[in-house]
Structure 1
Amino acid sequence: MTPNATIPFALVTSAARDDEAKVVDIDAIMNKLNIVLLTLTIVLGTTGNSVVIWVAGFKLKPTVTNVWLVNLAVADLIFCLSRVLSLTKKFFFDYWPFGIFLCKFNGFFRYTNMFCSVFLLAVISMDRTLCVWHPVFTKRRRTICAARLVSACVWAVAAILSAPHFAYRQVYLGKNNLSKCSLEDNEPKGDNSAKLALSLMRFLCGFLLPFLIILCCYILAGLGIRRTRLLGKSRPLRILVSLVCAFVLCWATYHCLLLAKMVNSNSTLVTGGLTVATAFTYFNSCVNPLLYFCMGLDMRGSRFRQTLEGVYRRALANDRDGRNTQPNERTVDNRSGSASQPALSLK
Structure 2
Amino acid sequence: MTPNATLLFFLVTSAARDDEAKVVDIDAVMNKLNIVLLTLTIVLGTTGNSVVIWVAGFKLNPTVTNVWLVNLAVADLIFCLSRVLSLTKKLFFDYWPFGIFLCKFNGFFRYTNMFCSVFLLAVISMDRTLCIWYPVFTKRRRTICAARLVSAGVWAVAAILSAPYFAYRRVYLDKNNLSKCSLEDNEPNGDNSAKLALYLMRFLCGFLLPFLIILCCYILAGLGIRRTRLLGKSRPLRILVSLVCAFFLCWAPYHCLLLAKMVNSNSTVVKVGLTGATGFTYFNSCVNPLLYFCMGLDMRGSRFRQTLVGVYRRALADDRDGRSTQSNERTVDDSSGSASQPTLSLK
Q: Settle same-fold status: TM greater than 0.5.
A: yes
- TM-score by structure 1 length? 0.89
Q: C-alpha deviations, 1:59-87, integer Å up to 9, x for none?
A: 11110000000000000000000001111
Mark the runs of 5 or more structure 2 residues left unpaired by the alignment: none
Q: C-alpha deviations, 1:294-322, integer Å up to 9, x for none?
A: 00011112222221111111111122389
Q: C-alpha deviations, 1:72-106, integer Å up to 9, x for none?
A: 00000000000011111112354111111110010
Distance 1:139 1:325, change over 3 A: farther
Distance 1:334 1:98, change over 3 A: closer
2:194 aligns with: 194
Partner SS state of residue 320, structure 1: helix
Partner Cα distance (1:121, 1:63) in 2: 16
Partner Cα distance (1:339, 1:186) in 2: 74
Bigger mean CA deviation after superposition, 147-156 or 228-237: 228-237
Once the two structures are TM-superposed, the CA of residue 11 in structure 1 deviates from its matched residue by 2.4
CA contact (8 A) 1:230 1:328 kept: no
Q: Which has the higher contact order (CA 8 A, sep 6+)?
A: 1
Mark the runs of 5 or more structure 1 residues left unpaired by the alignment: none
Which aligned pairs between 1:109-188 and structure 2 lie closer than 5 A? 109-185=109-185
Distance 1:309 1:204, change over 3 A: same
Distance 1:7 1:334, change over 3 A: closer
Q: C-alpha deviations, 1:142-200, integer Å up to 9, x for none?
A: 11111001000000000000000000000111233221111134765322111110010
Q: Aligned residues, how many?
A: 347
Once the two structures are TM-superposed, the CA of residue 121 in structure 1 deviates from its matched residue by 0.5
Q: C-alpha deviations, 1:21-75, integer Å up to 9, x for none?
A: 1111111111101101111111110010000001000111110000000000000
Partner SS state of residue 181, structure 2: strand
Bigger mean CA deviation after superposition, 299-308 or 70-79: 299-308
Distance 1:230 1:346, change over 3 A: farther
Distance 1:333 1:135, change over 3 A: farther
Name the Cα RMSD after superposition. Answer: 8.8
Once the two structures are TM-superposed, the CA of residue 16 in structure 1 deviates from its matched residue by 2.2
Distance 1:22 1:221, change over 3 A: same
Partner Cα distance (1:43, 1:88) in 2: 14
Bigger mean CA deviation after superposition, 303-312 or 111-120: 303-312
CA contact (8 A) 2:50 2:77 kept: yes
Partner Cα distance (2:336, 2:313) in 1: 34
CA contact (8 A) 1:228 1:341 kept: no
- TM-score by structure 2 length? 0.89
